[in-house]
Amino acid sequence: MNNFDFYNPTKILFGEGKISEIAKEIPQDSKVMVIYGGGSIKKNGVYDQVADALENHSWTAFGGIEPNPRYETCMKAIKKIQTEDVDFLLAVGGGSVYDGTKFIAAGAMFDGEPWDILKRGAKIKKALPLAGVLTLPATGSEMNSGAVITREETQEKLPFGHPLLFPKFSVLDPSVTASLSYRQAANGVVDAFVHVMEQYMTYPSGNHLQARFAESILLTLIEDGPGYYNDPANYEKAANLMWSATMALNGLIGAGVPNDWSTHMIGHELTAFHEIDHARTLAIVLPGTWSVLKSDKREQLIQYAERVWGITSASDEDKIEQAIKKTEEFFNSLGIKTRLSDYDVDETTIRKIVKRFEERGWHLGEKQKVGPGNVEKILKSRA
């Protein structure tokens, strides 16, 4: 087992009605900025619940954070913070709103051009305190310190993070998912599923507990995901889904284990060029990553086949093939298509993505094998 540090100070308030408890978690003298997305929270009652909870706080609001949050939009929020003396940020939304809020928290206190945080990995030294109310289980951003921001001007989607960006608290109220669309629900299941895979599907590293925890999340997503997709108002399914998505990316299952993340990095490019939903890009790419890197991921693919899908009486080769097939079928069962052609992506885009990997000199994955050559193979296998 590799050495690791594990630290996660985010307090979780889980369950129906928990939004009403946020006031006691925010310093009384704070000036709060509620940050949200396209306005669905005004229709489903969450905005009103937050407003009620904050009745004794001074607060303002900033709406319009996009799916794949834009650098340009975050910069507008930073301007508003500086003119209105805001000193506490409350994200109310899904992973994009959380991610945008994290960038705003860091950018508002950054000495220089905040773009440098993304482009050059400039060091974050201070950040505004932030917290949130999660409305869409998917990204795990509600209990971690990382985020991804897109710059429209240059079609770039880049990650950043810092321990100062752990939310102070996050409310996870499964009843708020009742108004999600099937598409949002399905995306959330797949996003969480692939987060687990990026930390699990590498090579054996002696981390027996982390592997079993990862498999626990996968099994729960498989058990409760389809029911949740068909009815996001099913509280018990939504609750298990929500907690699984949070646990998929809060540092727990990745502690001391090799990580991959190449499927994500390829997927980000598909989103940057074609605006395909993040989760859908992962569902497209993942089976390709496994097929191309089958020999490197062999032992873990077999363990996954056996423990998660119960495929025990087949040759190793067959176990692997069946596990890849089962995974793609699972995505399809959630209404998610898994081929580039389903999204009208052709060779031109593949060439552009390969070129970006070349320009950046990227060789990603747990063994640094996902460079331009393998990216091309992976994407071509998903045509």
Segment contacting its own copies by CB under 8 A, of 33-41, 219-227, 313-321, 350-358? 219-227
CB 108 within 8 A of CB 100: no
Segment contacting its own copies by CB under 8 A, of 73-81, 151-159, 211-219, 365-373? 211-219
Segment contacting its own copies by CB under 8 A, of 89-97, 118-126, 217-225, 347-355? 217-225
Which residue, 12 or 165, is less far from its own copies as judged by CB? Answer: 12
Segment contacting its own copies by CB under 8 A, of 12-20, 73-81, 195-203, 274-282? 12-20
Residue given tokens 């895979």 in the structure block: 197
The answer to whether residue 4 forms part of the interface with its own copies (CB under 8 A) is yes
Touching its own copies, residues 169-188 (CB under 8 A): 174
Sole binder of its own copies in the list 125, 126, 208, 352 (CB under 8 A): 208
The answer to whether residue 243 forms part of the interface with its own copies (CB under 8 A) is yes
Segment contacting its own copies by CB under 8 A, of 9-17, 42-50, 71-79, 98-106? 9-17
Q: Whole-number minimum distance, CB 212 to its own copies, in Å? A: 3
Q: Whole-number minimum distance, CB 210 to its own copies, in Å? A: 8
The answer to whether residue 259 forms part of the interface with its own copies (CB under 8 A) is no
How much is the CA Rg of the chain, to the nearest whole Å?
Answer: 20
Tallying the residues shown for the chain, one arrives at: 383
Residue given tokens 């990316």 in the structure block: 249
- Determine the straight-line distance between the first and last CA of the chain, rounded to whole angstroms: 38
Q: Whole-number minimum distance, CB 4 to its own copies, in Å? A: 5
Q: Is 311 helix (H, G, I), strand (E, B) or coil?
A: coil
The answer to whether residue 16 forms part of the interface with its own copies (CB under 8 A) is yes
Which residue, 19 or 32, is less far from its own copies as judged by CB? Answer: 19
**Six-digit token string for 40:** 């669905």
The answer to whether residue 204 forms part of the interface with its own copies (CB under 8 A) is no
Which residue, 171 or 320, is less far from its own copies as judged by CB? Answer: 171
Q: How many residues bind its own copies (CB under 8 A)?
A: 42
The answer to whether residue 227 forms part of the interface with its own copies (CB under 8 A) is no
Segment contacting its own copies by CB under 8 A, of 99-107, 234-242, 258-266, 268-276? 234-242
**Six-digit token string for 194:** 């692939």
Using a 10 angstrom Cβ sphere, with 0-12 exposed, 13-18 middle and 19 or more buried, the burial of residue 157 is: buried
For the stretch 3-24, what's the b/e string if a residue is b when 16 or more beta carbons lie within 10 angstroms of its beta carbon? eeeeeeebebbeeeebbeebee
> 370 - beta bridge partners?
364
Query: Which helix (H) or strand (E) covers residue 171, if one does?
Result: strand 169-172
Q: Whole-number minimum distance, CB 247 to its own copies, in Å? A: 7
**Six-digit token string for 338:** 């898994």
CB 97 within 8 A of CB 36: yes
The answer to whether residue 312 forms part of the interface with its own copies (CB under 8 A) is no
Q: What crossing angle do the helices spanning 71-84 and 95-107 adopt, rounded to 10°?
A: 60
Report the C-alpha gap between 60 and 89 in whole angstroms: 10
Report the C-alpha gap between 201 and 60 in whole angstroms: 43
Q: Whole-number minimum distance, CB 95 to its own copies, in Å? A: 19
Q: Which residues bind its own copies (CB under 8 A)?
A: 1-9, 11-18, 174, 206-210, 212-213, 215-217, 219-220, 223-224, 235-236, 239-240, 243-244, 247, 252, 255-256
